[in-house]
Amino acid sequence: MLPLLFLILGALFFVWSRIQVIQLGYEISTVLKEGRSLAEMNKRLKLEVATLKSYGRIEKVAVEDLGMSKPKPDQVVVIR
């Protein structure tokens, strides 16, 4: 009777451990997919920052939206 109990417990433990391995595999897959998605979003955000920081865009916003103009040479003061 006791060996049969050990056999059943061993079989249940084996099945449980296999289920845990499969479940962890799904979790790893999900986390890796999320990591790739975040890396792609990071690339897009870096590109957007570079675009927003471009001098051409800043000059366009300053002239068109804010009504600024380029300074005359006598209005520029160089500080060293």
Whose tokens are 């999320």? That residue is 34
Cα four-point dihedral sign 60, 62, 68, 74:
negative
> How many residues are present in the chain?
80
Q: Which pTM was predicted? A: 0.62
pLDDT at 70: 87
Tokens representing 4 are 């049969």
CB 69 within 8 A of CB 63: yes
Q: How do the domains of the chain map onto residue ranges?
A: 38-68
pLDDT at 80: 86
pLDDT at 63: 92
pLDDT at 2: 87
- Return the closest-CA partner of residue 70 out of 52, 53, 58: 58
> From first to last of its 80 residues, what are the pLDDT tens digits of the chain?
888 999 999 999 999 999 999 999 999 999 999 999 999 999 999 999 999 999 999 999 999 999 999 888 888 898 98
CB 53 within 8 A of CB 60: no
pLDDT at 49: 97
pLDDT at 65: 92
